[in-house]
Structure 1
Amino acid sequence: MAQPPRRPVAELDGHPVRGEALLAPALTGYGHFTTMRVVDGCRVRGLDLHLARLVRDSRALFGTEPDTDRIRRYVRRAVARHHGAAVTDAGAGAGAVPDGDVMVRVTLFDPELDIVRPATEAEPRVLVTVRPAPASHPAPLRVRTTRHLRDLPTVKHISLLGTLHARRSAQLDGWDDVLFVDPEGHVTEGATWNVGFVRDDSVVWPCGESLPGVTSELLRRTDPGCGGTTVGVEQLPQMTAAFATNAGVGVRPLAAVDDVSFDTGHPVLDRLRRAYLSVDAQPL
């Protein structure tokens, strides 16, 4: 008999979360996060970059630096709980057997944040949620462009209203997702992913105000031929392939942007996938 899907695990500072603990992010939308794919039970590609993002964004939003060792300990506990293993401070107990990759989101927020006096000293809490990871090779995306610039675009914050509204509008019109374009008409990023293009056999990373992604950074490190430049929407027909990157799926082809179609089987895309999978995952 098929097993029912597991409910997402949620822990706040290493303990099962209570509903009232989530009032602060629900009411203020002030906080930041990172999302990582945990493979082989306890390893993450680009873990150091995810932790560095949490430190950087915590400085930007709260003026504090989180204890990354404590965060790693919380993540190990939550992943062990998801896998149904005995939980210790270190994570899973002896003999635990992972049953598939999981997505872990680490969110930092301050439940005592005063919306009238947000400049008061902050003490961010650590919320860890765990859910099954998506398929490693999902179908290519058809996306449309939308003029949009996120607030504090270099911070991975929890204020997703504009992003999700744009995605929802695109999906209601028959598209899979949305690709953001700045006021000057330059491509910047997807709703929850970075974008790259292939021109002939070279990878082009669009420059612009966007969130620096962990997956795209790993690809830039492993593929020295990758370069960065501005990409205007009028230049899209010059590209032979396009792809989205994030921690959930690695490299995902784009089948079309607006009325421009791309080669979803381009060999450079396979090269990028292999390069990403060759990155050693770091232990939690």
Structure 2
Amino acid sequence: MSVYCNGHRASADDLAGALVNYGHFTSLQVRGGAVQGLDLHLRRLRQGTEELFGSTLDVTRVQAWMQAALQAEDVVDASLRVTVFSRAFDFRKPLQVVPVDVLVAVSAPVTLPATARRVRSVVYQRELPHLKHVGTFPLFEHRRQALQAGYDDAVFVDTQGAISEGTTWNIAFGRGGDLVWPQAPALRGTQERLLQAGWGGEPQLAPVRLDDLAGFDAAIACNAAGVWPIGSIDGVAFPGSEAVCGKAKAVLLQAPWDSVLG
């Protein structure tokens, strides 16, 4: 992995500033110098900056820094993580207006295998769930605990059993030809938005509880790295997940790619 800060290769001082656990990010998969849903990623970064720092992020400059990082690494296929933080942020004075900094991390491209996952439910909700913030410790720990228990991952529910999202992914449920997205506080992902736009008709948003799972025949998970079938949640099986995942992949193949390289 190579890391750049504000357009130049990151120094130790730059990275030391990023150790403060306050900021937000987006993760992108680049293929041929292009990204699906680039505008969604940039909008996420702009909105997160306004909420966490009270300032406006120049997304045109951010895109230029993404381009510069790819060119410096001489790659057109890559994983990018763009993190907005501030080396000047002081947790003792959190209302102080400070300039923001942008880290662009470049690593090898990732494509997740579309194998069915056995998932267990966990009562948990992320802090500020609508933001893709850097507070990721609980997500990884819940996934780790699920693996220790013999599952592949975890999905979050509230105390009433309402499903929100997976550890690092969104979830949707299939019933017939319909796709239902749980209506609960969660990070609204870029792949989720692309699937909703390409599925046909108005996106179906509805509360989905653990008690409702038997009424669905399929479930899929998605994030910027791809889409994959959910085989079961807490032992409730979804026999149609592979087929729905295949349709979702076909929908995503039709989503446009936006050039990062200009």
User: CA deviation digits over 1:216-274, x for unaligned, max 9?
Assistant: 0111111124411000001112211111111111x211112111122265433222111
Distance 1:83 1:177 in 2: 35
CA contact (8 A) 1:254 1:264 kept: no
1:142-162 deviation per Cα after TM superposition (whole angstroms, max 9, x unaligned): 211101110001011001122
* Residue 71 (1) aligns with residue 47 (2): no
User: 1:126 Cα shift?
Assistant: 0.4
1:268 to 228, 244, 247: 244
Partner of 1:90: none
Cα drift, residue 277 of structure 1: 1.2
| Contact residue 217 and residue 241 of structure 2 kept, 8 A | no
Tell me, yes or no, if structure 1 residue 212 matches structure 2 residue 188. yes
Pairing 1:151-170 to 2, within 5 Å after superposition: 151-170=127-146
CA shift, 1:82, in A, is 2.9
Matches of 1:79 and 1:200 in 2, distance apart? 42
Whole-Å separation in 2 of the counterparts to 1:80 and 1:137: 28
SS at the partner of 1:135?
coil
Gaps of 5+ in 1: 1-7, 85-97
User: What stretches of structure 2 of length at least 5 have no aligned partner?
Assistant: none
Q: CA RMSD in A?
A: 1.5
The answer (yes or no) to whether the contact 2:50–2:56 under 8 Å persists in 1 is: yes
Q: 2:116 aligns with which of 123, 140, 158?
A: 140
CA–CA distance in structure 2, aligned partners of residues 184 and 247 of structure 1: 29
Q: Normalized against structure 2, the TM-score is what? A: 0.94
Q: In structure 2, the residue corresponding to 1:221 is in which secondary structure?
A: helix
TM value normalised by structure 1: 0.87
Partner of 1:14: 7
Q: Is the 8 A contact 2:29 2:110 kept in 1?
A: no
What does residue 54 of structure 1 align with? 45
1:17 deviation in Å? 1.2
- Cα pair 2:25 2:81 within 8 Å, conserved: yes
1:103-252 correspondence runs (5 A): 103-135=79-111, 137-225=113-201, 226-249=203-226, 251-252=227-228
What is the deviation of 1:56? Answer: 0.5
How far apart in 2 are the matches of 1:175 and 1:12?
A: 38
